[in-house]
Chains A and B, each alone.
Chain A
């Protein structure tokens, strides 16, 4: 059983975000949570308001980068943080939903903003156990 989860991996000056799941969609959702966790404690974010995003890219790695950038854009323009994600994939297209709330500086203690998702270490693949992995480095 590949329990959905996320983790960070080390990069010299920035941070790697990695989502792991039973499906590619789940790995993308977890990667988005990993990106939010760069900024704050995900558990402290209430999933109050729904925001939608759509992405399109010629391959999975670029689609993941696009998706994380869609999350970064929503954080930057809506001044929100997100605690839950839902992703639907259809070939080169992604439709995503994210649930979150306005940034509360005192409660969320956001530490750093993400400038953008990069193609460094950007990969979407299945590991030996059959789990889907979606990962890239984000520039902070």
Chain B
């Protein structure tokens, strides 16, 4: 990206003042190097978002921003419904509420060394992953509606976890305002056999070792210690969320003209929050969020069972569950005034700072855990929300590395078996049913997650707490 167009406000903040139809500036948080590597499309898309009605303060992009669908991936934008604000299906993305949950195991790297292979095999057996896999939970349409309104609370009630899990989950495991009636029959059909499945692509379940601690005090609060074993699960709302995105993208494109929107890019399609399409999407999208929360809760249950087989007595406790493709109603300050805003985070993680009432009691003093996934073979991070993040980007941070190379290019560079063998040589066990899938997900096909996390830390979006290295990766 050409940085000359931007005002370099501070080392990690770049601002493009409003011009033309832009209602607010564009603000990108990144190092100079990340800015130079960033796709020009990020600027274009962030500028388009800055033109949308009701947008507040700025159209933000995180250090991991890249070319998305209408909104940049890594984009954050908040809208005031009473100022004609909009909700956008593209601003949430196809994989509604895709996110990461991290579980502490109470085990150590040294303690699991003797049984790494059996653990990898057991997890591979227990976790349905990849194209064509089906879950062991099959829902009738009535049960589906209960799941869509109840989220992880529904899952816990059905026996997949404990009430303590809910305390440590964003929204306490269930977002209010879900309306299953606005979820199409097609979307529900896609989900009937997909509860408790990981999906494919960049989704994974990883057993990870805490390799480095950057903040002793918060790490202790979070229950993290060097050598400790964590399980991270990265997945979303599966077929149901994908279909809601598909259904409403078309609806919003068709209704755009009626709302007087001239879309520079079709995927920027949106609807006024105070409109039938806007309200229907919000109801359906929240059902999608609950589906993702329930899905990760069921996967947690399956993970616990797999661990219990290999390490009887191991207690897996939830650190946190946070999504990075959402639109949520939150209170934020704009011009000194507290307002209720519809905050879109597409490929961006909510990052509430210390004292925020939305943070679980146990972590409230430290700030919300922010879980950043890597790709197999590379590291992941746990960060904590900061107080200053509220003023920077509505309490938001990065979500992961993002691809550096297309799947197409990756296939020409690597073979799946070669990657599995190389990672095994480094002590990382991969379980994946498709070697082509492994090649497409080669670690080197992704950007350097550490550079992205460092930029988020230095910009003040979130604070680095711990670095995790993969030990076992169950690849979707």
Contacts and interface: CB of A to CB of B under 8 A. Distances in A.
Nearest to B41: A12
Contact of A122 (B246, B266, B403): B266
Nearest to A10: B406
B66 interface: yes
A120 to B, nearest CB: 6
A127 B263 CA distance: 26
B132 interface: yes
Interface in B241-294: 242-243, 245-246, 249-250, 253-254, 265-267
Interface stretch (B137-145, B328-336, B431-439, B465-473): B431-439
Interface in A101-134: 103, 105, 108-113, 115-120, 122
A111 B437 contact: yes
Contact of A110 (B131, B189, B246): B131
A105 B433 contact: yes
Contacts of B131: 39-40, 103, 110-113
Contact of A119 (B239, B266, B406): B266
B186 A62 contact: no
A26 interface: no
A58 B254 contact: yes
Nearest to B67: A12
A66 interface: yes
B437 A112 contact: yes
Contacts of B194: 76
A115 B408 contact: no
B259 to A, nearest CB: 16
A99 interface: no
A122 to B, nearest CB: 7
Contact of A111 (B189, B249, B440): B440
B239 A15 contact: no
A13 B250 CA distance: 22
Interface string B402-418: 11001111000000000
A34 to B, nearest CB: 12
Contacts of B136: none
A111 B246 contact: no
B222 interface: no
Contact of B246 (A8, A40, A116): A116
A140 interface: yes
Interface in A57-115: 57-58, 62, 65-66, 69, 72-73, 76-77, 79, 103, 105, 108-113, 115
B199 interface: yes
Contact of B69 (A15, A109, A120): A120
A112 B407 contact: yes
A103 B132 contact: yes
Interface string B115-152: 00000000000000011101000000000000000000
A109 B94 contact: no
B33 to A, nearest CB: 18
Given A13-B73, A15-B406, A77 B189 contact: yes
A77 B265 CA distance: 30
A57 B245 contact: no
Nearest to B236: A115
Contacts of A73: 186, 189-190, 243
A52 interface: no
Contacts of A22: none
Given A10-B408, A15-B406, A103-B131, A139 B434 contact: no
B90 to A, nearest CB: 9
Contacts of A9: 408
A87 B357 CA distance: 55
Interface of A: 8-15, 39-40, 57-58, 62, 65-66, 69, 72-73, 76-77, 79, 103, 105, 108-113, 115-120, 122, 139-140
Shortest 4 CB-CB distances between A and B: which pairs?
A110-B131, A103-B132, A111-B437, A111-B436
26 contacts: A9-B408, A11-B67, A12-B39, A13-B406, A15-B406, A15-B407, A40-B131, A66-B250, A69-B246, A76-B190, A105-B433, A108-B132, A110-B434, A112-B407, A112-B434, A113-B200, A115-B94, A115-B242, A116-B243, A116-B246, A118-B94, A139-B69, A139-B94, A139-B242, A140-B201, A140-B407
